[in-house]
Amino acid sequence: MRKIRVLCLLLAASLVLSQCRRMPTENEPPIDVVPPRPLSLSEQQIVASGWAFSVNLLKAVNAGAQNENVFISPLSASMALSMTLNGAQGATRDSMRRALRLVGLDSLAMNQASQSLITLLTRLDAKVRLQIANSIWARQGFEVEPTFLSVNRVHFNAEVQTLDFFNPSAVGTINEWVSPPPTAESQPSLTKSATTS
């Protein structure tokens, strides 16, 4: 499974790079991709906003790590911030909307468009298994607004867990959740004898 993910990411990167004549800007994606169905106006805004956010995030990360190899997922960062936005208020909410380029799109439209785009992405190709995993980890005993949890469960397929963050096993618990269960596709394809022959 990990090999498939890495291959998909490499393929996507090579397609983007092969189509670029110059560095893309936040207002101009490098290639035109025709979706399998027409996108709603809210979905189009999420895609355009996601592109602008991604370009700016990658620029910021690259500026801070000029001589390092860095691998990040702008889609994951955007989804995590969009989920968090569902619980933000006031100036924090406004700042997050600006950072995500979601000014002018109300919360319901953002959540519904995100939900439909997640469904679209995970069903684009029957031969490819793309999984998007979102979760919310709350400190055990901390009361989280039920509406916040419900909205993120419904629209972002987020799992909600409570955890004692002071317990030394907390990191292992989260890492175990993050690691996908082994599948036939994720098993090593090389054996020791194949590499020594």
As given in the structure block, the two tokens for residue 5 are 């993910």
Residue 189 domain-assigned? Answer: no
Residue 84: predicted pLDDT? 96
Q: How confident is the model at residue 31 (pLDDT cuts 50, 70, 90)?
A: low
Q: Which domain holds residue 141?
A: 133-180
Indicate if the alpha-carbon torsion angle 65, 71, 74, 77 is positive or negative.
Answer: negative
Residue 28: predicted pLDDT? 59
Residue 96 domain-assigned? Answer: no
CA–CA dist 40, 114 (Å, integer): 11
CA–CA dist 172, 132 (Å, integer): 20
Residue 168 domain-assigned? Answer: yes
Q: What is the pLDDT of residues 102-161, one digit of tens each?
A: 988 999 999 999 999 999 999 988 888 888 999 999 999 999 999 999 999 999 999 999
Q: For the chain, what is the domain count?
A: 1
**pLDDT, mean over the chain:** 81
The contacts of residue 11 (CB under 8 Å, 6+ apart) are none
Per DSSP, the three-state class of 187 is: coil
Residue 33: predicted pLDDT? 64
Residue 143 domain-assigned? Answer: yes
pTM of the model: 0.75
Per DSSP, the three-state class of 28 is: strand
Residue 126: predicted pLDDT? 85
pLDDT at 36 over 90: no
CA–CA dist 111, 25 (Å, integer): 26
Report the 10 Å Cβ neighbour count for 32. Answer: 6
Residue 139 domain-assigned? Answer: yes
Q: How large is the greatest C-alpha to C-alpha distance in the chain, in angstroms?
A: 64
Residue 175 domain-assigned? Answer: yes
